[in-house]
Structure 1
């Protein structure tokens, strides 16, 4: 069996002068990354933090955080990723409830609430200059108790969280081979193309990229948060043949009217994280002459399980527009009945299941509705757990959102269900107004919905916003949208 942790360790011992990252105009060499990785693990060793003790890493897309995580992986130390993009109070709650022996975080993330929550834990702070030291007052571990990964150490990662509270999923280190496979699938580059990273390191997409880039020796450009201007500048400087990201990246690049010549080196846009709307794919391809190669995966799969390839694109692009692709080699897929769980034939809609041998010997059920056609292409049909039951009628949020998105002044839309005393649930919607156009009114959008939808699909409210709340991976944060309406109801 391939030992990815050993490969990461070997990668850190490579040519010390090779640049592995650039961030805010500064290059980070392999020597700098390896030195910081060694420093972090040494601090843990000296404090008596065992290799199977739970260590929380407050993750940002910065070289020092990448170095710290590579150090943990290469020394086979268990870790849990924690989102930095939340309030100090929320982060403190994660620290308090995690059962950690140690917390590793950027200097700026050691706020008073987090320091207080880390009482009795070892605290390591990462500085922008590539150094790491102990947090004053948090320089030794207390008596615990702490969580231990006694069965098999690995990485705990939060699943998406776009439909409610995220759940932590543990990936033993042996599964990291999937990370490399899912990132390198379809790429046969003699010299690895530079990565301009849009995926957060705290999620499965970012973690897969971190591990794969280390193993194959790929240079990565990092941003704290996706920004079109910084991204376009990186594309101009690094001249990659391909870029990657969720649909929101394509949409934002188009809306910013990034000149075609700035993306002249790019041949393919590899994406995932959410279904790519066919109209958006066509607009992006026609504007930039860049092929859109889509994929589908999930935290539970430890990466991608379905994807297009350039060869599939050349043969099937028009005939299979809207598909997520076909199963990757070694992956089995099926669609099952949403009620009985029985496998369904081709072209029937149900829950998608995947058999991923590196992860589990059992079929893994998703709540994604899909169909697999006779040629093996997978089409996403929405989320089975997102339906709103309004007085016995089922409301499909994706259908309502699609109608609202058809308004020329709407960039994006999200639909959620609110509890209702009489009907059980009622749909409400929030839309993101498109910049540079007259802001649509709630009355305009409700009139559109009434025109295009059956009565029980029409939302009771439409809130027009400058920007929809999003997760770190740029997906609409449905839980945050729901809270907006719930707070509005409470405060009248």
Structure 2
């Protein structure tokens, strides 16, 4: 990249310097394959430069820029272009529902909004936003529309790279500030590590199927770019297109959310289809040990689960391949051990640190936030054994208190997903006049499967206490999910609304 303004702006942080160096390595080589066509590193770099120019011209030296993110090469370039100016990307999900997205954008009062022309026309009121930048294909000219309406740019603390939407599993998504330092720690390692950029492009091709509007998609994209690794960008996870990419490019490792792991597990794919893969990484939501073992038995591939949160700026615990080989048989179901310089502990409600294997609230000091960070208390119930392996057993804020008995929805979900006819399940609490609350379950069946409520109840009776068995079951074609693949529990709860349950 030769633009001097961009070079000056990118010199402010080691992450931006790495991005710029990689984009200039081999401009004519393929960077992103999307729907069968390759976009070159040079095309990504040029669009990033043009986006950066617009951002500086209309947003100042450190612009705050909303992007209606979709999994498309031009959106990757726009995202990188903002980072290369030292600006802040405010992630906006154009697929949350038009009314909610319009309201979200209006409340942000952004001076700059970038997105596809159709999304901007449909979702952005020029009276509540400033300059609009319409993206087309990577090589298309940018269409810039300057509104006469003055808006107050969303305040962002210094050093923030992305105001990232959380997954919104239990309620409306909120935004979390991810700093340049946090992102750099996650994709480059701590500052003490070498920041020497690669001198050649990677020979392997990765697959990115996580949505850019979710932290998983952001990290996977940045991991590929900083490593100079070309990748296939899928609009979304679909088994046919994902499997075709695996067969064509034979990656050594892939990343799948638990729902996608189960989709692959129950598909007609064979060991030959996935022969190149030596490990599957999986996060964003719990994956049962039974599903992980079944995947390994079918394909001969270990599933390396992890524990992360948007608020942490990435992962804080996970399995390495070496740990999996040595410890999985004894520690199956664990989310692994602390990673990336993180520290983990389990405490009682009053903050007392609990002994190994006691269940309590998980507290974390993420390595991404530096050694001076205070302990962050999560809403996850967990236990940590003497070897440092952590088991997340449920969420304290989702516990259903049924007549004085505590029901952990994740325990019920795991039991349901062990039924051979069940593809996925989601369990929430529903108000009850006498018992306070009762669990109810939404079930998605495997293709071609059928099962009666009585059969489900009999199956659960062998695995759960009577008070843990849901009082109502709803069989649906597809469980509503967040962009990260988690069950959207707020949407599930909405579908069960309409009065108190009667069962016990």
**TM-score with structure 1 setting the length:** 0.91
Inter-CA distance 118–388: structure 2 relative to 1 (3 Å threshold): farther
Q: After superposition, what is the alpha-carbon deviation per residue over 1:130-151, rounded to whole angstroms, capped at 9, x for unaligned?
A: 425236xx42463212223253
1:73-472 matches, within 5 Å, as: 73-112=83-122, 114-116=123-125, 119-134=128-143, 138-140=145-147, 142-181=149-188, 191=202, 193-337=204-348, 339-359=349-369, 361-437=373-449, 439-449=450-460, 452-472=463-483
Aligned-pair CA distance for 1:221: 0.9
Structure 2: how far apart are the matches of 1:126 and 1:489?
Answer: 48
Please give the per-residue CA displacement for 1:138-185, whole angstroms capped at 9, x wherever unaligned: 4246321222325333210012211222221101212221220579x9
Is the CA contact 2:120–2:134 (under 8 Å) kept in the aligned structure 1?
Answer: yes
Q: Provide the C-alpha distance between the structure 2 equivalents of 1:153 and 1:349, rounded to a whole number of angstroms.
A: 35
List 4+ stretches of structure 1 deviating above 6 A.
Answer: none
SS of 1:110 mapped into structure 2: helix
Q: Which moved more, 1:115-124 or 1:479-488?
A: 115-124
Q: Provide the C-alpha distance between the structure 1 equivalents of 2:462 and 2:248, rounded to a whole number of angstroms.
A: 48
Sort the Cα spacing of 1:345 and 1:86 in 2 relative to 1 into closer, same or farther, 3 A: same
- 1:22 paired to 2:33: yes
Bigger shift: 396-405 or 238-247? 396-405
Counterpart Cα distance in 1 of 2:87 and 2:170: 31
Whole-Å Cα distance in 1 between the matches of residues 500 and 72 of structure 2?
A: 39
State the number of aligned residues. 480
Alpha-carbon distance in 2 for matches of 1:150, 1:275: 32
Structure 2: gaps of 5 or more residues: 1-11
Query: Which segment drifts farther, 61-70 or 293-302?
Result: 293-302
Once the two structures are TM-superposed, the CA of residue 241 in structure 1 deviates from its matched residue by: 1.1
**Post-superposition shift, 1:120?**
4.1
Distance verdict in 2 for CA 1:118–1:353, change over 3 Å:
farther
Flag the 1:487–1:199 CA change in 2: closer, same or farther, 3 A: farther
Q: Deviations over 1:5-57 (max 9, x none)?
A: 222122222210121111000101011101111111222233x2124443111
Q: Which moved more, 1:444-453 or 1:389-398?
A: 444-453
1:459 Cα deviation from its structure 2 partner = 2.1
Name which of 482, 486, 490 aligns with 2:493: 482
CA gap 1:215/1:453 in 2 versus in 1, 3 angstroms: closer
CA offsets, 1:451-480, max 9 Å, x none? 654343232211011111111111111111
| 8 Å CA contact retained: 1:440, 1:464 | no
Q: Is the 8 A contact 2:105 2:124 kept in 1?
A: no
| CA distance in 2: counterparts of 1:42 and 1:2, whole angstroms | 18
> TM-score, normalized by length of structure 2?
0.89
Aligned mates of 1:405, 1:171 — CA distance in 2: 34
Distance apart, 1:243 and its partner CA: 1.0
Partner of 1:31: 42
Q: Matches of 1:476 and 1:452 in 2, distance apart?
A: 22
Segment of structure 1 superposing worse, 307-316 or 66-75? 307-316
Cα pair distance change 1:160/1:76, threshold 3 Å: same
Whole-angstrom CA distance in 1 between matches of 2:203 and 2:346: 35
Provide Cα deviations, 1:375-413, integer angstroms capped at 9, x if missing partner.
111112111211012333322212222332233211111
